[in-house]
Structure 1
Amino acid sequence: MNKLIRFGAQIGLLLTIWLILWSGQFWKTPFILENISAFIAQILVVLFLIYIAAPKYLFTKRYLHFIGISVLILILANLAVSYFSPQIIEPIPRLRGMNMPPDDMNPREPHRPPSEFLTQSLLIVLSYILATVIEVIYYNQKNEEALIKSKAQTLNTELKLLKSQINPHFLFNALNNIYALSGIDTEKTQKSISYLSDMLRYVLYECEQPLVSLQKEMDYIDNYIKLFRLKSSKTYPIKTEFNVSNPNIMLSPMLLIPFVENAFKHSNIEKIKDTFITIYIETTAQSILFKIENSIPEAPVNKDELGGIGLENVKKRLAIIYPNTHELKITTVNNTFSVSLKLEQHV
């Protein structure tokens, strides 16, 4: 709402009030003429507030200047009303053929009772105060909308940044696995490339959407595990259990993957002995439950700190996308690192 529209709306409100007052006097011409100067004064003080006083002093936090100039403009407005109103009503008796007393020839002599002048002065002051309140409300609302928009843009930028930090991490791991296979088994290398192709397709295209189906996230996890298993002919102690009644339930893309990557990275699963990874996914009508556990070697592997940047990014994304609809628990008990994540379904 621009200044002109707000000005017109406030003048319309003032006009409505005056019409009610005038109708109470049965539209008597003297009453209208006596008060029209007060109405004009109200228009001018509101105009002054919207275009000068509020933007230049009030909204720049120059409060003393605003109060001082407001008091000054209200005094001038009331002096103008007291000066011009008698001149307006002065010709009325002459039109009716009435004789004017000599004292009434002085245009500066007041013709109205003090109570009437005080009433008009009060209306001018109240109209200025009302206009100030309306301007402050509009200003605060506008600032709040701008703040919300700014926060949304910031969150969107942060989400994109967090996603961009996820993708290179996954890609480097996959390429290292394929490189290790290339000199050992051609058939496994071809399978690895196929798995990697599906994973890249998901990352590059599906992850551009704000939400994806749980099925696509599970397919990615499945391909990730298959790609890892192809590194060796050994049987890795990796267990998955997906009790998913609704695979089309939606969630934010690449939300579960960092937990899986973290488990593979810190469990030292390549050693097989005394290691394990267990992945469990379950759905209800309104939620997704994801659990993952992995062993922690007695002698820590020379890698990043357990959890690392990947899990920190997930926590930030959860705080942004699921601020009040997620429950994340991360525990370490008896050399077992456990993650439990519950997500409420996106509407």
Structure 2
Amino acid sequence: MITINKNRHWIFLVFFWSLLGITIWAQMIEDFDFWSATYQAVLVLICSVFLAHFLSDVILPNALRKNKMNWFAVQSVIVTLLLSLCLALIYTVFSDEISRVRAYPGDGDLSSVHFLWSRFCGSIPAAILINGTACGLRFYQEHNVIEQNHAALKQVHLEAQIKILQDQINPHLMFNVLNHIHILMQSDVKLASVLLVQFSDILRYQLYECNKEYVPLHLEIKYLKDLIAVEKTRWGNELEVKSKWNIEDGQLQIVPLLLVPLIENAFKHVSRLPNQKGYVHLSCRQENKELIFRIENSHTEQYKLPSKSQGLGLENVKKRLAIQYPEKYQLNIEKTDSDFTVTVVLDLK
């Protein structure tokens, strides 16, 4: 993109200077002979190109980098006056009394010094226009480069932030499951073996699929199902775990591990009333390129399970949704005396 913009910039500059040279020559040929008009047009063009590009390509970028625009304004005035002087000298050297009367009727009877001063003052608007055009084009180009660099830095920052949020999920989940497997190894080796096999599928997905920006929806759904299966095995008969899945198009793309904290959060903060099972109910359906994920767990402040860690949970999901699905999601949280429900609606277009 930067190369394309540079090419366009140079093409426009060649067109601009060529048009300016032709215009100057067309004006000169009316009052001077062919060679005199050509020499003057070439000299005017050389002076204009040199001074205008010195101002726009050397002084202006340096002023922008050092943030010294006040000094640049002073330098612009100096260069503009210098260009006006060059134009006035060219007009004075190549003109005689006859051509001066013909080209500049009001200044024909002036001495060379006064004519030089008159042409100097008269050339200032042209010098301002030439330098202003060159600086305007350069400023536009520099502004585009700054905007592109800013966008690139912002993208890198967002990607780094997403990576941090995603990496926070994996260790948290791994430690929870591995700790439970360690406990089961001392009491129920068979169940620990089943849990270990289920957990290996989860790790395989995290290692080989989650490094991508997007993954197919069917792979992410399989991962969530495996995660639910692991949690269901961990809890056994202590919790009622139900899940419903209805996916129409598994090839739609979704960012990986986005909904994992909601599942972790539900199982970590589930609570049970005396002589009653706690529950975690999940439903996930996709239709018309829209994913609707809803998870509900029993919750009471009096009987909720103690937790030493507050976890990442909802804050993690909120941040990732804001970064990766701006204006393409809905997040609804409902909390009552008996349950806690989180609903996420994603636009997967």
**What is the CA-CA distance between 1:203 and the residue it aligns to?**
1.2
| 1:211-290 matched pairs, under 5 angstroms | 211-231=214-234, 234=237, 236-268=239-271, 273-290=276-293
2:40 touches 2:90 (CA, 8 Å); kept in 1? no
Gaps of 5+ in 2: 100-108
1:40 is aligned to 2:40: no
Task: Judge which range, 78-87 or 22-31, deviates more.
Answer: 22-31
**What is the CA-CA distance between 1:188 and the residue it aligns to?**
1.8
Map of 1:302 onto structure 2: 306
Cα separation, 1, equivalents of 2:274 and 2:213:
38
1:344 is aligned to 2:337: no
Any idea what SS the aligned residue of 2:242 has? strand
Q: Identify if the C-alpha distance between structure 1 residues 233 and 329 changes in structure 2 by more than 3 Å, giving closer, same or farther.
A: closer
Map of 2:71 onto structure 1: 65
| 1:179-198 matched pairs, under 5 angstroms | 179-198=182-201
Letter in 1 for 2:339: T
**What is the CA-CA distance between 1:135 and the residue it aligns to?**
1.5
Q: Deviations over 1:78-131 (max 9, x none)?
A: 2233234332345999xxxxxxxxx99x8657389x5x7666442222000111
Cα separation, 1, equivalents of 2:44 and 2:125:
10
Any idea what SS the aligned residue of 2:225 has? helix
Cα separation, 2, equivalents of 1:174 and 1:181:
10
Map of 2:59 onto structure 1: 53
Any idea what SS the aligned residue of 1:110 has? helix
TM-score, normalised relative to structure 2 = 0.83
Map of 1:163 onto structure 2: 166
Letter in 1 for 2:133: L
Cα separation, 2, equivalents of 1:247 and 1:7:
48
Q: Identify if the C-alpha distance between structure 1 residues 276 and 18 changes in structure 2 by more than 3 Å, giving closer, same or farther.
A: same
Q: Identify if the C-alpha distance between structure 1 residues 241 and 18 changes in structure 2 by more than 3 Å, giving closer, same or farther.
A: same
Cα separation, 2, equivalents of 1:275 and 1:155:
38
**What is the CA-CA distance between 1:164 and the residue it aligns to?**
1.1
2:88 touches 2:116 (CA, 8 Å); kept in 1? no
**What is the CA-CA distance between 1:303 and the residue it aligns to?**
1.3
Cα separation, 2, equivalents of 1:309 and 1:232:
21
Any idea what SS the aligned residue of 1:189 has? helix
1:294 touches 1:336 (CA, 8 Å); kept in 2? yes
Cα separation, 2, equivalents of 1:71 and 1:318:
52
Cα separation, 2, equivalents of 1:215 and 1:7:
49
Any idea what SS the aligned residue of 2:143 has? helix
1:236 touches 1:270 (CA, 8 Å); kept in 2? no
Map of 1:99 onto structure 2: none
Q: What percentage of residue pairs aligned between the two structures are identical?
A: 25
Cα separation, 2, equivalents of 1:32 and 1:92:
18
Q: Identify if the C-alpha distance between structure 1 residues 342 and 91 changes in structure 2 by more than 3 Å, giving closer, same or farther.
A: same
TM-score, normalised relative to structure 1 = 0.84
Letter in 1 for 2:287: T
Q: Identify if the C-alpha distance between structure 1 residues 219 and 294 changes in structure 2 by more than 3 Å, giving closer, same or farther.
A: same
Task: Judge which range, 143-152 or 72-81, deviates more.
Answer: 72-81
Cα separation, 2, equivalents of 1:261 and 1:271:
23
Cα separation, 2, equivalents of 1:302 and 1:13:
74
Letter in 1 for 2:44: A
Q: Deviations over 1:42-85 (max 9, x none)?
A: 11221221343212335533233112222122222222332343
Aligned residues: 333
Map of 2:180 onto structure 1: 177
Cα separation, 2, equivalents of 1:179 and 1:166:
20
Cα separation, 2, equivalents of 1:278 and 1:230:
15
Pick the aligned partner of 2:151 from 148, 152, 155: 148
Task: Judge which range, 64-73 or 266-275, deviates more.
Answer: 266-275
Letter in 1 for 2:306: N
Letter in 1 for 2:74: G
1:217 touches 1:256 (CA, 8 Å); kept in 2? no
1:166 touches 1:310 (CA, 8 Å); kept in 2? no
Any idea what SS the aligned residue of 2:187 has? coil
Any idea what SS the aligned residue of 2:228 has? helix
Any idea what SS the aligned residue of 2:307 has? coil
2:243 touches 2:283 (CA, 8 Å); kept in 1? yes
Task: Judge which range, 39-48 or 170-179, deviates more.
Answer: 39-48
**What is the CA-CA distance between 1:154 and the residue it aligns to?**
0.7
Pick the aligned partner of 1:110 from 110, 115, 123: 115
Cα separation, 1, equivalents of 2:205 and 2:300:
32
1:82 touches 1:117 (CA, 8 Å); kept in 2? yes
Task: Judge which range, 140-149 or 65-74, deviates more.
Answer: 65-74
Map of 2:84 onto structure 1: 78
